Structure 1
Amino acid sequence: MNKPRMLLAALPLLVGVAQAQQPPESEWRQANRQVAEFPRGHADVLKWEQAHLAPATPAPAKPATLVLSTLADGVRLAWQAHPDLAKPLAQLGAEEAGLLASGQWQGLSAVKLRRIEDAAELIDVAHGTRKTLLAAMAAEQALPYQQQALQAAEAAAELGARMARTGNWSKLQDAREQLLKVSAMQQWQRSLYAADQSRAAVLKALQQWTRRPSQTVSLPQGLPVLPASILSEQAFQSRLESMAATLPASEQTMMRANAELAYSAYRTAFALASSSQQDMLKLRQLIYDETVLRYNGMLLNTWDLLAESRALAEARVEAIGAVRDFWLAEADLQLLLLGQVPESFVTLAAGGGDSPAAAGH
C-alpha cells in the first residue's frame, strides 16, 4: 500500500479546511473525518482519484539504448569495449569468465589467473564496472522513496501556508514547515543529479558515453539481496594466504597491508545492512503504523502523520544505501583476494545514502 500517496491524495480535503471560517477545534474534527474516508487505504484513494482528479498526461518514455538485465551483462559489455581483453578472456575460458562477470570470484583459480597475460586488467574492468553499476542501481532504487519524502514535506508546507493565511497558524509554525520543504527539495535535486551522474558513469564504463545525448541505459531492477552469511575471518585468512603464495614479495606486502581494512569494511557493512539497518526500518514502520492509528483516533495531528511518512521514506533510502555499501565492500574484498588492491574502500557514513560511486574503468 502506497500510504504517502494516500496522504497526498487527501491533501485537497485537508487544506480546504484551513480556509473555512470555523474554530480550530472544528477544523480538525472535519479534517479527521475527511481523511477517515479512506479506511481501505490505497483502494479507496484510487477510487477517489478516478472520481475527482483529471487523468495525468503520461510522460514521454526515454529511449533505452542499452538493456542490462544483470550485473554480469554490464561486465561483459565493458569487456567487449576493450578489444585487447579478447585474448585473456579466451584463455580464462567461458566458465571462469562467467564466474568473474557474475561476481562469484571465489570460484576462480588464482594459479590460473597468474598465468594469463593481462588478467589483472580483465579483473580491474570487472571490478570497476560492477561497483559503478551497483552505485547506479542503488541511486535509481532509492528515487521513489526520496520523492515520497519530498511529497510529504510539500503537503505539510502547503497545509501550513493555508492555515497561516487564515490566521490559524503563526508565522513561526509556518516557517518551520516551509524550511522542511526547502530542505526536502534540495535533497531531491541532489538525488536526481546523483542518479544522472551514476548513469553517465555506467555509460562511460561501457564506453558508450560519446553517443547521441538521448542515449540512456536500462539498469537491473534492484540491488542483489544480501547473503544469509558472509565469509568467516578464518576462511578469509586461509584464502588470503593461498593467494599471497602466488605473488611476488612486494605484492604480498601490499596485499596483506590492506587485508585487515578490506575485511573490516566487508564485515561492518554486512552488519549494518543485515541487522542494524533492517531493525531501524522495522521500527520506523511500527512508529508510522502507530501514528496512523492515533491520527485516525484524533490523538495526533496531520503534521505528525506527514512527518512520520517522511521519516519512513528516508529510512527506506538509508536501507538501500546500506545494502549498496555491503556489495561495494564485497567487490573490494574479492578484488583483494585475487591479488589486487582497490584504490579506496567504501565509506560507511551514517545513513549510507551519500557513499560515493566507484569510478568505472
Structure 2
Amino acid sequence: MRTTQQHPVLRAVVTGALALTLGGCATFSSDGGLDAVSSMTTERIGQDIRLPRGTSTHAEAQAELDALLKQTLTADHAVRVALLNNRGLRASLAELGVAEADLVQAGRMANPSFSFGRMGGSGETEIERSVMFDLVGLVTIPLRRDIEGRRFDGAKLVAATEAVRTASDTRKAWFNAVAAAQSARYAEQVREAAQASAELAARMARVGNLSALDQAREQVFSAEATAQLARARHNATAARERLARLMGVWGAQTAFRLPDRLPDLPDTPREPGNIEALAMQQRLDVQLAKLRTQATARALGLSQATGFVNVLEAGYVNASKTGQPRENGYEVELALPLFDWGGARVAKAEALYMQSVHRTADTAISARSQVREAYSAYRTSYDVAKHYRDEIVPLRKKISEETLLRYNGMLMSVFELLADARAQINGVNAAIEAQRDYWLADTDLQAAINGTGGGGAVGVASGMAGGASTDAAAPAH
C-alpha cells in the first residue's frame, strides 16, 4: 500500500521511533558476564574465576601460577591452578562472549532497506526512492532482548557449571594422584623386602637348610612384587598426568610436588541435614533448567505476538518526474496471512514449552536422588575408612609386633616373619584405598549439592530456549 501525499505526522513517528531505538541500543558490559560467574563459583567452591585480559592481568595470573607450582601442592592449590590455567575452561568461558553478542544484537533494530528505481521514455524520466523500516522488529525488541537476556544468564550458569566441574575433577584427580604415589612407594618397599627374602632363601637352599618348594615360594613372591611395583608406578604416573591435564600444565611445570600421604580423616562425618533442599537452591543444573523454561515461555509469547502478522514494514517514499515537482509520501508493506496463519509456529512453541517444563521436573527429581546417593556413598566410605584406621590397622600392627617378639625369642623362623609381612600388604593397600575413597566421595557429595552431580555436560546456552528462539519473529517471506 502506497500514498504519495505529504505525511509529516508519519515521518515524525518513524523518526521518533528510530531515535528511541537507537538511543536504547544494548551495549557490551565491561566484564562480559565473568563477575557473575566468579561470584557463583566462589559461593560453591570458595575460589573465584579470573580470565586474564591484557598484559598486566596475564602477568599477575602467571605470577600466581608460578608461586603455586613452587610449593607442595595441596588439593586447594591444584584447584586454583586449574581455574587459572585450564584451557578447556577458558574455552567454555568464551561462550559468554557469544551469548552477550546475541543479547546486544537483539537490542538493535534491523537495518532499513533502501530502494531506487529509474524509468525513462518519451523524453521523460521518472525516479523513485524509498527507505523501509521493519516495524514488527521494532515493537518486538523488548521481547527479543528479554529472551536473549535470559540466554545470557543461562550462559553464565553454564560457565559456572564448567568451573565447578573442573574444580571437582581436579580435586578428585589430586586425591587419586597422592594415593597412587603412596601405593607405589609402599609397593617399592614390598619389592625390596621380597628381593631380600628371595636372596636369603637362595642362600639357605644352597647349604641345604631350605626345601626347593619353600625357595620357589619366595622367588615367586619376589617376581610378583616386581610386577606389582611396575603396575603401581604406571598407575601413579597415569594419575599424575590426569592431574597435570586438568591443571593445564606442561613442560617444566609438570615437576610439581605432591604430599607424601593423603589428608587424615575428619573427626566426625558430615550429617545429612537438609541436603536435598540445599541442592535445590545450589545446584546449577536445576537453576539452568528453570531458566530454560522461563526463556521458552517468553519465546512462546513472542511467537503468539507475531503468529498472525510477522511482516510489517513502513517507510518514506519520494518520486520525481521530468518537468514536475517531487512527490513525497509513505509506503506500508504487509504480508497477507492467506496460507500461513502462524498456527504451526505457535503450536511448536507451546510443545517446546511443555517439553521444557517436564525436563525441569525431571532434573529436580534426578538431583534429589543423586544427592541422597552421594551422601550414602560419603557416609559409607567414611565408616569404612574409619574402621580401617581404628580397627584393622591397629590389629595388623599388634599382630606384627607379636610376630616379631616370637621371632626374637626364636619361636618362629625368618620365613614365618616374612609370611606375616606379606599378609599385611593387602591390608595396607586397602587402608590407603579406603582413605582415598572417602575423599573422593566427599568431593562427589559437594558436586551433587553445588554442581550437576557428576552428570553429563549441561549443553551450550544457545540451546537454552529448547529451540524456540527470537527468530520466531523473523519474516516468513
TM-score class, shorter-chain normalisation, is 0.5 to 0.7
Q: Which residue number in structure 1 is paired with residue 213 of structure 2? A: 172
Structure 1 distance, partners of 2:157, 2:281, is: 18
Q: Structure 1 residues 80, 242: CA separation in 2 closer, same or farther (over 3 Å shift)?
A: closer
For 1:206 and 1:115, the matched residues in 2 are separated by: 22
**Given the alignment, which residue of 266, 270, 278 partners 1:231?**
270
| Amino acid in the other structure paired with 1:139 | A
Deviates more, 1:324-333 or 1:311-320: 311-320
Question: Which stretch of structure 1 is more off in the superposition, 176-185 or 273-282?
Answer: 273-282
The partner residue of 2:384 within 245, 253, 272 is 272
Deviation at 1:231? 2.1
More displaced 10-residue stretch of structure 1: 227-236 or 166-175: 227-236
The residue that corresponds to 1:256 in the other structure is 368
Distance 1:169 1:204 in 2: 51
Q: Cα deviations across residues 68-87 of structure 1 (Å, max 9, x unaligned)?
A: 43211111111112445779
More off after superposition, 256-265 vs 128-137: 256-265
Contact 2:371 2:448 in 1 (8 A): yes
CA distance in 2, matches of 1:326, 1:75: 18
Deviation at 1:223, TM superposition (A): 1.6
1:328 aligns with 2:440: yes
> Take 2:218 and 2:259, find their aligned partners in 1: how far apart are those partners?
37
Distance in 2 (alpha carbons) for counterparts of 1:116 and 1:241: 15
Secondary structure at 1:233 match in 2: coil
Does the CA-based 8 Å contact 1:288-1:309 persist in structure 2? yes
With over 3 angstroms needed to count, the CA separation of the structure-2 counterparts of 1:329 and 1:124, relative to structure 1, is same
Maintained 8 Å contact 1:134/1:324: yes
Partner of 2:255: 216
Quote the Cα distance in structure 1 between the aligned partners of 2:155 and 2:386.
35
How many angstroms apart in 1 are the aligned matches of 2:185 and 2:260? Answer: 13
Task: Report if the CA contact (8 A) 2:388-2:431 is conserved.
Answer: no
User: Please, which of 399, 423, 429 is the counterpart of residue 287 of structure 1?
Assistant: 399
**What percentage of aligned pairs have identical amino acids?**
34
The amino acid that maps onto 2:257 is: S
Partner of 1:80: 84
SS at match of 2:273: helix
Measured in 1, the distance between the counterparts of 2:93 and 2:443 equals: 23
1:181 paired residue among 222, 227, 239: 222
**2:178 — aligned with what?**
137
Q: CA deviation at 1:215?
A: 4.2
SS at match of 1:167: coil
Deviation at 1:145, TM superposition (A): 2.2
> What secondary structure, in the 3-state scheme, does the structure 2 residue paired with 1:175 have?
helix
Structure 1: 5+ residue stretches without partners: 1-63, 89-111, 345-361
Mapped partners of 1:313, 1:85: distance in 2: 44
Contact 2:173 2:242 in 1 (8 A): yes
The normalised TM-score by structure 2 is 0.49
Deviation at 1:287, TM superposition (A): 0.4
C-alpha distance in structure 2 between counterparts of 1:118 and 1:304, whole Å = 59
Q: How many angstroms apart in 2 are the aligned matches of 1:243 and 1:215? A: 34
- Rg: which structure is higher? 2
Contact kept in structure 2, 1:199 and 1:216, CA below 8 Å:
no
Note the 1:106-117 alignment, pairs <5 A.
116=157
- Distance in 2 between residues matched to 1:184 and 1:258, nearest whole Å: 40
Report the counterpart of residue 356 of structure 1 in structure 2.
none
The verdict on how the C-alpha distance between 1:83 and 1:224 changes in structure 2, with shifts beyond 3 A counting, is: same
Check the 8 A contact 1:68/1:74 in 2, yes or no: no
**CA separation of 1:173 and 1:313: change in aligned 2, threshold 3 A:** closer
Task: Name the SS for the 1:118 alignment partner.
Answer: helix
What is the aligned partner in structure 2 of residue 304 from structure 1? Answer: 416
Report the counterpart of residue 164 of structure 2 in structure 1: 123
Number of residues of Structure 1 aligned to a counterpart in Structure 2: 257
8 Å contact 1:277–1:322 — kept in the other structure?
Answer: no
d(CA) in 1 for partners of 2:209 and 2:259?
49
Aligned to 1:195: 236
| Alpha-carbon offset, residue 122 of structure 1 | 0.9
Q: d(CA) in 2 for partners of 1:304 and 1:69?
A: 41
Conserved? CA contact 2:164–2:451, under 8 Å = no
CA distance in 1 between partners of 2:94 and 2:264 (Å): 33
Aligned mates of 1:278, 1:327 — CA distance in 2:
17
Instruction: Verify the 8 A CA contact 1:136 1:199 in the aligned structure 2.
Output: yes
Equivalent pair of 1:153/1:184 in contact (CA under 8 Å): yes
SS in 1 for 2:239: helix
Letter in 1 for 2:160: A
C-alpha offsets along residues 278-337 of structure 1, whole Å, 9 cap, x if unaligned?
A: 411111100000011000100011012122233335433322211111000111111010
Structure 1: how far apart are the matches of 2:159 and 2:238? 30
How many angstroms apart in 2 are the aligned matches of 1:178 and 1:113? 63
TM-score (norm 1): 0.63
Cα distance change, pair 220–113 in 1 and its aligned pair in 2 (3 A): farther
3-state DSSP class of the match of 1:199? Answer: helix
1:223 aligned partner, one-letter code: L
Give the superposition deviation at 1:169. 1.9
Question: Structure 1: how far apart are the matches of 2:204 and 2:172?
Answer: 48
